[in-house]
Amino acid sequence: MLDIRAVDAFYGDFQALFGVSLSVAAGQVVAVIGANGAGKSTLLKSIAGLMPPRGGEIVFDGESVGHLPAFATVKRGIALVPEGRRLFPSLTVEENLLIGAESRRSGPWTLRRIYDLFPVLAERRHLPAPALSGGQQQMAAIARALMSNPRLLLCDEISLGLAPIVVRDIYARLPSIVGEGLSLIIVEQDIVQALRAADHVYCLQEGRVALQGVANELSRESISAAYFGV
Amino acid sequence: MGWVNVILQGVLIGGLYAMFAAGLSLIFGVMRLVNIAHGDLIVLAAYIALMATQGLGVDPLTSLLLVVPVMAAIGYALQRGLLNRTLGDDLLPPLLVTFGLSIIIQNGLLEWFTADSRKLQAGALEIQTFQIAQGVWVGALPLIQFIVAVAVIAGLQVLFYKTALGRAFRATSDDQSVAQLMGLDTRHVFAMAMALSLAIVAIAGVFLAVRANFDPAIGPARLIFGFEAVIIGGLGSMWGTLAGGIILGVSQAIGAQIDPGWQLLAGHIVFLVILAVRPQGLFPKVSG
């Protein structure tokens, strides 16, 4: 469904991705792991259209989407849950979710479905977004992305800054999200969590794919070698 | 009763100042753009209304039906074609470009319409007055102007907090790149904000032109009144902007009553005092 072919991405003159290739099949959960600065978030931003790649190609459902702006990418069914959640602080929880539906894609996710999945958001829907706890904000950020009824959901560091019990709680809900036939790319620093949730794993190191394989077939040694580059 | 009349007139003119300010504050809020050409766009709207009233023979209030959509279209095109290119992390480029725009509009109007003072004629409406209490008189036109101003502010408030467009404005103001991720084309959102701003400018321009003489050079002073009303009221608060306009209007009216030469000075002094004592304005938006 998603095919990334030899993508190069730059911040100004600094090259962050070097010929990264990756593919995601329909209904698949792919984890991208790697140390700080390995290019994980850059990869997601390139897919979502926030950082158009300078080389290579990003093909989604047979269409090249690498050069589309972000607002057009989301209309084709790619949604990003940005790192640090980044809810709109001056909007209420419900308004944040409604903004998520701006791309006007139809599908299974409606406010009602979201509130069934995350009842705490329903209780707090009229509060301003910053009034939520960190874990609730992360749920709201995921819910906001789901409101666009994506076919591919990109999650950037959803465990960042959250208590382990909250992280487990959020990851426990992923199966009911993927159950809707959507594919998932999760970027994680928490490798154990990522390996448990994913079917396939890519490990980035300094902007290049250092290792990839089926999640439960990779040995700890090969992962730490690819992670730290030793 | 003299002072009651003075203050009442000040309040009513304050509505006009609030309309100058509302458009200014709207676009600053949505895209951090300080529009130096705002005053000149008000004057441009007045001239478009002048052409409409002369060419079509309609009265100034009816001309709004034409001037408002024309100004809104100019705003959309201006933002899409020019101002969007100036937006970025730096506040300076839009400031410089709108400053240049201000000069272009002033000189364009001067070439086209000459420096002669003009005025829109509203006929009998202009001199109609009511006595609302013993010795207290209210003109029909200032009253209409004030009611329209309150309606504009209330309309903006509803639009911002109850509609999808307002939600998009607030989201884009919070975080542009995430707004894009949600499917909002920020270039379009900004252009809609400028269109709305200039629609309000159109209303303000017509009331300005009915109330007093205008010529191509009076724009910058209207811009100052707009800025002062925004700052007095507090950024980001629509009702605060109305209050700011009223305070400015009343200060000017009281100043003028003491000595005609003090009219503008009194407004500026009150503005400076508020800026010094309460720089966030009287009714700043409570951040969430």
Interface predicted TM-score of the whole assembly (ipTM), two decimals: 0.90
Which residues contact residue A138 at a Cβ distance below 8 angstroms, ignoring those fewer than 6 apart? A85, A158, A162, A166, A170
Closest CA to A53 of A126, A96, A4, A119: A4
User: Which residue, B143, B141, B129, is CA-closest to B60?
Assistant: B141
A71 touches chain B (CB under 8 A): yes
| Owner of token pair 């100034």 | B60
Chain A residues with CB inside 8 Å of B175's CB? 86, 88
Helix (H, G, I), strand (E, B) or coil at A155: strand
For A132-154, the pLDDT digits (tens) are: 999 999 999 999 999 999 999 99
**Residue B288: its pLDDT value, please?**
31
Supply the pLDDT for residue B89. Answer: 85
Query: What span, in angstroms and rounded, lies between the C-alpha atoms of A150 and A131?
Result: 27
pLDDT at residue B1, as a whole number = 65
Give the separation between CA B252 and CA B16, rounded to whole angstroms. 13
Q: Which of A90, A105, A124, A144 to mutate to test the interface with B (most CBs of B within 10 A)?
A: A90
pLDDT over 50 at A180, yes or no = yes
List b or e across B82-120, with b for residues whose CB sees 16 or more CB atoms inside 10 angstroms: ebbebbeeeeeebeebbeebbeebbeebeeebeeeebeb
Distances (CA, A) of B78 to A77, B26, B37: 32, 16, 12
The Cβ of residue A163 has, within 10 Å, a number of other Cβ atoms equal to 12
The rounded mean pLDDT for chain A is 91
Is the whole-model pTM more than 0.80? Answer: yes
Sequential pLDDT tens for chain B (288 residues): 688 999 999 999 999 999 999 999 999 999 989 999 999 999 999 999 999 999 999 999 999 999 999 999 999 999 999 999 999 888 899 999 999 999 999 999 999 999 999 999 988 888 898 888 888 889 999 999 999 999 999 999 999 999 999 999 999 999 999 999 999 999 999 999 999 999 999 999 999 999 999 999 999 999 999 999 999 998 878 899 999 999 999 999 999 999 999 999 999 999 999 999 998 888 877 543
Closest partner residue to B181 (CB to CB) among A80, A129, A130 is A80
Cα A129 versus chain centre, distance: 20
Interatomic CA distance for residues A162 and A175, integer angstroms: 20
pLDDT, position B102? 97
Find out whether B227 and B22 touch, Cβ atoms under 8 Å: no
Question: Is the separation of the CB atoms in B192 and B241 below 8 Å?
Answer: no
Query: Testing the interface with A: which of B182, B188, B190 to mutate, by most A Cβ within 10 A?
Result: B182
Q: Tell me the nearest-neighbour CA distance from A27 into chain B, angstroms.
A: 22
- Choose from B160, B175, B177, B181 for mutation: most chain A CBs within 10 A: B181
- Both tokens of residue B43? 């004057």
SS3 of residue A11 by DSSP:
strand
pLDDT tens digits for range A18-52: 999 999 999 899 999 988 889 999 999 999 999 99
Chain A residues touching residue B167 (CB < 8 angstroms)? 91, 95, 98-99
| Tokens at A156, concatenated | 């950037």
Q: Count each helix (H run) and each strand (E run) in chain B, helices first.
A: 11, 2
Contacts of B184 in chain A (CB under 8 A): 71, 99, 102
Residue A66 and residue A46 in contact, taking contact as beta carbons nearer than 8 Å: yes
- B121's tokens: 């004629």
Helix, coil or strand: residue B279 = coil
Phi, psi (rounded to 5 degrees) for B66:
-95, -45
Q: Report pLDDT for B287.
A: 43
Can you state the angle between helices B140-162 and B238-258, rounded to 10 degrees? Answer: 160
Token pair of A74, please? 């989301």
Per-residue pLDDT reduced to its tens digit, A62-96? 999 999 999 999 999 999 999 999 999 999 999 99
Distance, CA of B228 to CA of B217 (rounded, Å): 19
pLDDT score, position A18:
94
Average pLDDT over residues A158-166: 88
Virtual CA dihedral for B111, B117, B122, B127, nearest 10 degrees?
170
**pLDDT confidence of residue B284:** 78
Q: A35: which DSSP letter?
A: S
